[in-house]
Amino acid sequence: MKFFVIADELTVLGFRMVGVSGQIVSTREEAEEAVKEAIENRDLGIILITEKTASMIRDLVENLFYTTAFPLILEIPDRDGPVPGRGSIRDIAKNAVGLSI
């Protein structure tokens, strides 16, 4: 199972330093295309996408989050930190599963 990151240039370069491949995106169209290609890649187990990148394609990300079991799509903060007002992974899991972890 491989990881793949879809994000801005600095985030992707940081992940490449630890062996995670990725796609640099800066527009909505690039982000949408990168996510669609990554979903089709059977070698990928987890797709990491920054919150800012995901916000450009929110409808697509939310649709995939609820309809696609594999690969797992996780939103992560970028170098500027989490987007204010976004729930934490813990909050999202609690709402989805009904249990606090």
pTM of the predicted structure, to 2 decimals: 0.81
- The answer as to whether 91 is a domain residue is no
The pLDDT of residue 22 is 97
CA distance 2 to 64: 18
- The answer as to whether 98 is a domain residue is no
The pLDDT of residue 97 is 66
- The answer as to whether 85 is a domain residue is no
- The answer as to whether 54 is a domain residue is yes
What's the domain count of the chain?
1
- The answer as to whether 95 is a domain residue is no
Mean pLDDT of 1-12: 96
Using a 10 angstrom Cβ sphere, with 0-12 exposed, 13-18 middle and 19 or more buried, the burial of residue 51 is middle
List the CATH number of the domain containing 26. Answer: 3.40.50.10580
- The answer as to whether 23 is a domain residue is yes
Domain boundaries, position 21: 2-79
71 preceded by a cis bond (ω within 30 of 0): yes
